[in-house]
Amino acid sequence: MSRVTRFPRNSVQDRPGRLKLLLRRHRWLVSRLAVGSGLVLVASVAIIAGHRSHERSVATARERFGNATASAGLRIKDVVITGRQNTPESLLRAALGVKPGDPILGLSVADARARIESLSWVEHATVERRLPATVVVGLEERRPFAIWQNGGKFTLIDREGQVVADGDLARFNTLPLVVGPGAPVSAAPLIDALNARPALMARVVAAVRIGERRWNLRLHGGMDVLLPEGAETAALDRLGTLQTDQALLDRPLQVVDMRLPDRLVIRPLPSADPQSVDGMPLPPSPPPVPPDGKKPT
């Protein structure tokens, strides 16, 4: 009969190995890792299945992925918004499309950014997930540049002529007013030139686009200054000199026509003396150029 060898209890052979001891000590970590691995596996399978189908299936896979990870605590708790000044918060949150409690990994960052950038105030947006529970939205808003009047309607535009808003414009009433079709996309150079000449800018009520080619300036008191096409800066310099030397803009004039480079055409108000205003002679116009192009001697 074979002999069975027995070792005394609590001998070295009865002791568990180091790996077993480590697993016993960190049993809670092992269980969490197992759960996490299972969730990742489920999510991976969902993503792979989604990529093999239509775009609609991708959204479904993302939703499944979000729901799977939400059980591990990956839910939205906070939405942080930076850079917002004029964008209505209600519209912004609707475009973002999430609320506290939604799975954070179920959010499509690209889709949310596209929806936010479709808002009129927003020029550029960023959307980030900061795990485990925060979504951060950063905005670069369009800067109000002027108010555009067209067909009796007033809208706010940015420097590039993009319409920003068409309501609640009272707080922007200090911005320049541009009028007429084509005015928004052409206004920036003229307004920059006027801003560089504050004495003239202070007199301007509106800049009116004519035929989508050139500008008229409507001044306080009703005077119209007709600017030449493509030579607005030179005409404004000339107008400033005339104002400094002869106080041209202080006279009761109806029209100052600067469209011709070699002459100045002035139309007094109907009640004014066509030769002088307030006892001051009007600035002389250069002699007309004959058809042959030779100036008279």
Quick one: pLDDT band at residue 95, thresholds 50, 70, 90?
very high
More confident residue, 60 or 217: 217
- Label residue 42 by pLDDT band (50, 70, 90): very low
Confidence check: pLDDT of 289 > 60: no
Does the structure show a pLDDT above 90 at 175? yes
Q: Give residue 243's identity as a one-letter amino acid code.
A: Q
Quote the strand ranges of the chain, DSSP E.
Answer: 78-82, 122-130, 134-141, 146-150, 153-157, 163-165, 177-179, 204-210, 214-219, 224-226, 253-257, 265-268, 276-277, 280-281
Peptide bond into 281 cis (omega under 30): no
pLDDT of residue 281: 46
Report the predicted TM-score, pTM, of the whole model to 2 decimal places.
0.66
Q: Is the pLDDT of residue 283 over 60?
A: no
Q: pLDDT at residue 284 above 50?
A: no
Mean pLDDT, rounded, for 125-129: 96
pLDDT grade, residue 271 (50/70/90)?
confident
Measured distance CA(12)–CA(21) in Å, rounded: 14
- Taking 60 as the threshold, does the pLDDT of residue 191 lie above it? yes
Confidence (pLDDT) at 65? 53
- Mean pLDDT of the region 34-52: 50
The answer to whether the Cα torsion of 25, 28, 29, 35 is positive or negative is positive
* pLDDT (average), residues 79-88: 95
